[in-house]
Amino acid sequence: MPALDIREIGNDDVEDVAALWERCGLTRPWNDPHGDIAFARKSENAAVLVGRRDDRLAASALVGHDGHRGAVYYVCVDPEFQDKGLGRAIMAAAEEWLRARGVWKLNLMVRADNAPVIDFYSALGYDREDRVTLAKWIDPSRKPRR
């Protein structure tokens, strides 16, 4: 694995992480990155992992679990650091974070048309499982207009 100093987010990292998520195109108008970071930091069952290289934020992932199944969100590598194995490193750290808490399965949600990301996770050993995802906007005022 490439040299990447990975740890849980600290107060001094919040603005850098939110900016990284923006730069990597992971945010949406209905998802406030600062709110998502704060929510994860309040929970025993979630964390934001940050990976620094040469004292610069290079990668991040939000990881959490429900007691047996884990999930990751906001997995990203700064465009300046891509194609150097840092995505693999931050995912390995997310998997280890979950494993240390007794979680045995990690589920991912990837849009069907996002072939590069599907290929990335497939290369890490993730298998496609056919499922139907159902969603309901229980607060219709938050539903994005398209």
- Secondary structure (3-state) at 114: coil
* Contact indicator for 63, 56 with CB cutoff of 8 Å: no
In eight-state DSSP terms, residue 66 is S
* Contact indicator for 41, 48 with CB cutoff of 8 Å: yes
Q: Using one digit for the tens of pLDDT, what is the confidence trace for 62-121?
A: 999 999 999 999 999 999 999 999 999 999 999 999 999 999 999 999 888 999 999 999
Q: Using one digit for the tens of pLDDT, what is the confidence trace for 19-73?
A: 999 999 998 888 899 999 999 999 999 999 999 998 899 999 999 999 999 999 9
Radius of gyration over alpha carbons of the chain, in Å?
15
Domains of the chain with CATH codes: 5-142 (3.40.630.30)
Q: What is the pTM of this model?
A: 0.91
